[in-house]
Structure 1
Amino acid sequence: MNEAEAILTGLRIWGGIGAAVAAIFLTIGMDRIDEDARGAYVFRVLLIPGVLVIWPLVLWRWRLYETGAEKWRNRYDPPRRAHFTVGWILPIGICAIILTGLSLRQTWPADIAPVRLSAPAEVSQ
Protein backbone atom coordinates (compact mmCIF):
# COMPACT_ATOMS: atom_id res chain seq x y z
CA MET A 1 0.00 0.00 0.00
CA ASN A 2 1.46 3.32 -1.01
CA GLU A 3 0.91 6.67 0.69
CA ALA A 4 -2.02 7.71 -1.50
CA GLU A 5 -3.92 4.50 -0.77
CA ALA A 6 -3.24 4.89 2.95
CA ILE A 7 -4.54 8.46 2.94
CA LEU A 8 -7.62 7.43 0.95
CA THR A 9 -8.29 4.54 3.32
CA GLY A 10 -7.97 6.89 6.31
CA LEU A 11 -10.41 9.35 4.74
CA ARG A 12 -12.89 6.56 4.03
CA ILE A 13 -12.71 5.37 7.64
CA TRP A 14 -13.08 8.96 8.91
CA GLY A 15 -16.08 9.52 6.62
CA GLY A 16 -17.69 6.20 7.58
CA ILE A 17 -17.46 6.98 11.28
CA GLY A 18 -18.70 10.51 10.57
CA ALA A 19 -21.69 9.15 8.64
CA ALA A 20 -22.61 6.87 11.53
CA VAL A 21 -22.26 9.70 14.05
CA ALA A 22 -24.32 12.03 11.81
CA ALA A 23 -27.09 9.47 11.46
CA ILE A 24 -27.29 8.82 15.20
CA PHE A 25 -26.79 12.40 16.37
CA LEU A 26 -29.18 14.03 13.92
CA THR A 27 -31.97 11.53 14.56
CA ILE A 28 -31.63 10.93 18.32
CA GLY A 29 -29.13 13.34 19.87
CA MET A 30 -30.35 16.62 18.43
CA ASP A 31 -33.74 16.28 20.12
CA ARG A 32 -32.12 15.42 23.45
CA ILE A 33 -29.80 18.43 23.69
CA ASP A 34 -31.86 21.16 22.00
CA GLU A 35 -35.57 21.41 22.68
CA ASP A 36 -35.96 24.02 19.92
CA ALA A 37 -34.83 21.42 17.35
CA ARG A 38 -37.68 19.04 18.13
CA GLY A 39 -39.80 18.55 15.05
CA ALA A 40 -37.47 20.57 12.81
CA TYR A 41 -36.06 17.98 10.42
CA VAL A 42 -35.40 19.98 7.25
CA PHE A 43 -32.38 21.88 8.55
CA ARG A 44 -30.68 18.71 9.80
CA VAL A 45 -29.78 17.76 6.24
CA LEU A 46 -27.65 20.92 6.10
CA LEU A 47 -25.71 19.75 9.16
CA ILE A 48 -24.61 16.43 7.65
CA PRO A 49 -21.41 17.70 5.90
CA GLY A 50 -20.23 19.46 9.03
CA VAL A 51 -20.85 16.45 11.27
CA LEU A 52 -19.00 14.23 8.78
CA VAL A 53 -15.89 16.36 9.19
CA ILE A 54 -15.93 17.28 12.90
CA TRP A 55 -17.55 14.16 14.37
CA PRO A 56 -15.05 13.89 17.29
CA LEU A 57 -16.04 17.38 18.45
CA VAL A 58 -19.73 16.52 18.05
CA LEU A 59 -19.33 13.40 20.18
CA TRP A 60 -17.36 15.30 22.83
CA ARG A 61 -19.90 18.11 23.08
CA TRP A 62 -22.79 15.64 23.08
CA ARG A 63 -21.18 13.79 26.00
CA LEU A 64 -20.75 17.08 27.89
CA TYR A 65 -24.44 17.92 27.44
CA GLU A 66 -25.65 14.44 28.38
CA THR A 67 -23.52 14.20 31.54
CA GLY A 68 -24.29 17.74 32.67
CA ALA A 69 -20.61 18.74 32.65
CA GLU A 70 -21.27 21.62 30.27
CA LYS A 71 -20.39 24.97 31.87
CA TRP A 72 -23.04 27.07 30.18
CA ARG A 73 -21.85 30.27 31.89
CA ASN A 74 -18.50 30.04 30.07
CA ARG A 75 -19.97 29.20 26.69
CA TYR A 76 -20.14 32.81 25.52
CA ASP A 77 -16.87 33.92 27.13
CA PRO A 78 -14.20 33.69 24.41
CA PRO A 79 -10.60 33.03 25.45
CA ARG A 80 -9.23 36.54 24.93
CA ARG A 81 -6.03 36.10 26.92
CA ALA A 82 -4.17 34.72 23.92
CA HIS A 83 -5.33 37.33 21.40
CA PHE A 84 -2.43 39.71 22.04
CA THR A 85 0.19 36.98 21.68
CA VAL A 86 -1.39 35.50 18.57
CA GLY A 87 -1.75 39.00 17.14
CA TRP A 88 2.05 39.30 17.15
CA ILE A 89 2.94 35.70 16.28
CA LEU A 90 0.87 35.60 13.09
CA PRO A 91 2.43 38.61 11.28
CA ILE A 92 5.93 37.63 12.39
CA GLY A 93 5.30 34.06 11.18
CA ILE A 94 3.95 35.27 7.83
CA CYS A 95 7.03 37.47 7.31
CA ALA A 96 9.31 34.55 8.25
CA ILE A 97 7.56 32.27 5.75
CA ILE A 98 7.86 34.84 2.96
CA LEU A 99 11.54 35.53 3.70
CA THR A 100 12.31 31.80 3.85
CA GLY A 101 10.55 31.25 0.53
CA LEU A 102 12.47 34.06 -1.11
CA SER A 103 15.81 32.86 0.23
CA LEU A 104 15.28 29.25 -0.89
CA ARG A 105 14.53 29.96 -4.55
CA GLN A 106 15.23 27.16 -6.96
CA THR A 107 17.91 27.68 -9.56
CA TRP A 108 18.19 25.80 -12.82
CA PRO A 109 21.26 23.69 -13.53
CA ALA A 110 23.70 25.41 -15.86
CA ASP A 111 24.17 22.44 -18.17
CA ILE A 112 20.58 22.24 -19.45
CA ALA A 113 20.25 23.86 -22.86
CA PRO A 114 17.04 25.67 -23.68
CA VAL A 115 14.74 24.03 -26.21
CA ARG A 116 12.80 26.13 -28.70
CA LEU A 117 9.21 25.07 -29.05
CA SER A 118 7.60 25.21 -32.46
CA ALA A 119 3.99 25.91 -33.27
CA PRO A 120 1.82 22.88 -33.98
CA ALA A 121 1.43 21.95 -37.62
CA GLU A 122 -1.78 23.02 -39.27
CA VAL A 123 -4.15 20.29 -40.25
CA SER A 124 -5.74 20.63 -43.69
CA GLN A 125 -9.38 19.66 -44.00
Structure 2
Amino acid sequence: MNQAEAILMGLRIWGSIGAVVAAIFLTIGMDRIDEDAREAYIFRPLLIPGVLVIWPLVLWRWYLYEGGRDQWARRYDPPRRAHFAVGWLLPIGICLIILAGLSQRQTWPADLAPVQLSAPAEVSQ
Protein backbone atom coordinates (compact mmCIF):
# COMPACT_ATOMS: atom_id res chain seq x y z
CA MET A 1 0.00 0.00 0.00
CA ASN A 2 1.51 3.29 -1.05
CA GLN A 3 0.95 6.66 0.55
CA ALA A 4 -1.93 7.69 -1.74
CA GLU A 5 -3.81 4.47 -1.03
CA ALA A 6 -3.31 4.94 2.71
CA ILE A 7 -4.66 8.50 2.55
CA LEU A 8 -7.62 7.35 0.47
CA MET A 9 -8.33 4.51 2.91
CA GLY A 10 -8.18 6.96 5.83
CA LEU A 11 -10.64 9.28 4.09
CA ARG A 12 -12.98 6.38 3.38
CA ILE A 13 -12.89 5.28 7.02
CA TRP A 14 -13.43 8.88 8.20
CA GLY A 15 -16.37 9.28 5.81
CA SER A 16 -17.89 5.93 6.79
CA ILE A 17 -17.78 6.78 10.47
CA GLY A 18 -19.16 10.23 9.64
CA ALA A 19 -22.03 8.68 7.68
CA VAL A 20 -22.97 6.46 10.62
CA VAL A 21 -22.76 9.40 13.04
CA ALA A 22 -24.81 11.59 10.67
CA ALA A 23 -27.50 8.93 10.31
CA ILE A 24 -27.80 8.40 14.06
CA PHE A 25 -27.44 12.06 15.08
CA LEU A 26 -29.85 13.47 12.51
CA THR A 27 -32.54 10.86 13.24
CA ILE A 28 -32.25 10.48 17.02
CA GLY A 29 -29.84 13.02 18.50
CA MET A 30 -31.14 16.20 16.91
CA ASP A 31 -34.53 15.85 18.58
CA ARG A 32 -32.95 15.21 21.97
CA ILE A 33 -30.69 18.27 22.10
CA ASP A 34 -32.72 20.93 20.26
CA GLU A 35 -36.39 21.49 20.99
CA ASP A 36 -36.77 23.70 17.92
CA ALA A 37 -35.60 20.88 15.63
CA ARG A 38 -38.33 18.46 16.68
CA GLU A 39 -40.56 17.45 13.78
CA ALA A 40 -38.39 19.57 11.41
CA TYR A 41 -36.99 17.07 8.95
CA ILE A 42 -36.60 19.17 5.80
CA PHE A 43 -33.35 20.92 6.78
CA ARG A 44 -31.57 17.83 8.12
CA PRO A 45 -30.20 16.60 4.77
CA LEU A 46 -28.41 19.94 4.49
CA LEU A 47 -26.43 19.06 7.63
CA ILE A 48 -25.10 15.74 6.30
CA PRO A 49 -21.93 17.12 4.61
CA GLY A 50 -20.95 19.06 7.72
CA VAL A 51 -21.51 16.11 10.05
CA LEU A 52 -19.49 13.86 7.71
CA VAL A 53 -16.49 16.14 8.12
CA ILE A 54 -16.68 17.18 11.79
CA TRP A 55 -18.25 14.08 13.31
CA PRO A 56 -15.86 13.99 16.32
CA LEU A 57 -16.98 17.50 17.32
CA VAL A 58 -20.63 16.52 16.79
CA LEU A 59 -20.20 13.50 19.07
CA TRP A 60 -18.41 15.58 21.71
CA ARG A 61 -21.07 18.30 21.74
CA TRP A 62 -23.83 15.69 21.81
CA TYR A 63 -22.12 14.05 24.79
CA LEU A 64 -21.93 17.40 26.62
CA TYR A 65 -25.57 18.24 25.93
CA GLU A 66 -26.83 14.83 27.00
CA GLY A 67 -24.80 14.91 30.21
CA GLY A 68 -25.94 18.42 31.10
CA ARG A 69 -22.34 19.69 31.26
CA ASP A 70 -22.80 22.31 28.56
CA GLN A 71 -22.32 25.84 29.91
CA TRP A 72 -24.54 27.71 27.50
CA ALA A 73 -24.02 31.08 29.20
CA ARG A 74 -20.25 30.95 28.55
CA ARG A 75 -20.49 29.46 25.05
CA TYR A 76 -19.93 32.75 23.22
CA ASP A 77 -17.54 34.46 25.65
CA PRO A 78 -14.24 33.62 23.87
CA PRO A 79 -15.30 35.02 20.48
CA ARG A 80 -16.71 38.16 22.07
CA ARG A 81 -13.52 38.78 24.01
CA ALA A 82 -11.47 38.46 20.84
CA HIS A 83 -13.57 40.87 18.74
CA PHE A 84 -11.78 44.01 19.92
CA ALA A 85 -8.28 42.64 19.27
CA VAL A 86 -9.22 41.12 15.92
CA GLY A 87 -11.00 44.33 14.94
CA TRP A 88 -7.67 46.14 15.18
CA LEU A 89 -5.30 43.39 14.06
CA LEU A 90 -7.03 42.65 10.75
CA PRO A 91 -6.92 46.20 9.28
CA ILE A 92 -3.38 46.75 10.54
CA GLY A 93 -2.31 43.40 9.07
CA ILE A 94 -3.94 44.18 5.74
CA CYS A 95 -2.16 47.55 5.58
CA LEU A 96 1.19 45.89 6.41
CA ILE A 97 0.68 43.27 3.70
CA ILE A 98 -0.13 45.95 1.12
CA LEU A 99 2.91 48.03 2.16
CA ALA A 100 5.18 44.98 2.03
CA GLY A 101 3.89 44.11 -1.42
CA LEU A 102 4.40 47.65 -2.71
CA SER A 103 7.87 47.93 -1.19
CA GLN A 104 9.21 44.80 -2.91
CA ARG A 105 11.19 45.67 -5.99
CA GLN A 106 10.47 43.35 -8.83
CA THR A 107 13.22 42.94 -11.38
CA TRP A 108 13.15 40.89 -14.53
CA PRO A 109 16.08 38.99 -15.98
CA ALA A 110 18.12 41.36 -18.18
CA ASP A 111 18.80 38.79 -20.90
CA LEU A 112 15.16 37.83 -21.44
CA ALA A 113 13.92 39.30 -24.70
CA PRO A 114 10.19 39.70 -25.30
CA VAL A 115 8.61 37.29 -27.76
CA GLN A 116 5.62 38.27 -29.87
CA LEU A 117 3.01 35.59 -30.07
CA SER A 118 1.33 34.91 -33.37
CA ALA A 119 -2.07 33.51 -34.11
CA PRO A 120 -2.26 29.77 -34.75
CA ALA A 121 -2.13 28.68 -38.37
CA GLU A 122 -5.46 27.89 -39.97
CA VAL A 123 -6.11 24.25 -40.69
CA SER A 124 -7.99 23.40 -43.87
CA GLN A 125 -10.41 20.55 -43.71
TM-score by length of 1: 0.72
Question: Structure 1 CA distance, aligned partners of 2:43 and 2:23?
Answer: 14
Structure 2 partner of 1:26:
26
Question: Structure 2 CA distance, aligned partners of 1:12 and 1:92?
Answer: 42
Structure 2 partner of 1:65:
65
Q: Select the structure that is richer in helix.
A: 2
Q: Report the aligned-residue RMSD.
A: 3.0
Question: Structure 1 CA distance, aligned partners of 2:79 and 2:114?
Answer: 57
Residue correspondence of structure 1 range 1-125 to structure 2 within 5 A: 5=4, 9=8, 11-75=11-75, 79-104=79-104, 106-125=106-125
Identity %: 80
Pairs aligned (count): 123
| Unaligned runs of at least 5 residues, structure 2 | none
Change (3 A) 1:18 1:81: same
More moved, 54-63 vs 73-82: 73-82
Question: Structure 2 CA distance, aligned partners of 1:103 and 1:87?
Answer: 25
What residue identity is the alignment partner of 2:34? D
| Unaligned runs of at least 5 residues, structure 1 | none
Change (3 A) 1:78 1:41: same
More moved, 101-110 vs 79-88: 101-110
TM-score by length of 2: 0.72
What residue identity is the alignment partner of 1:112? L
Question: Structure 2 CA distance, aligned partners of 1:70 and 1:92?
Answer: 36
| 1:71 Cα offset (Å) | 1.7
Question: Structure 1 CA distance, aligned partners of 2:67 and 2:105?
Answer: 55
SS in structure 2 at match of 1:81: helix
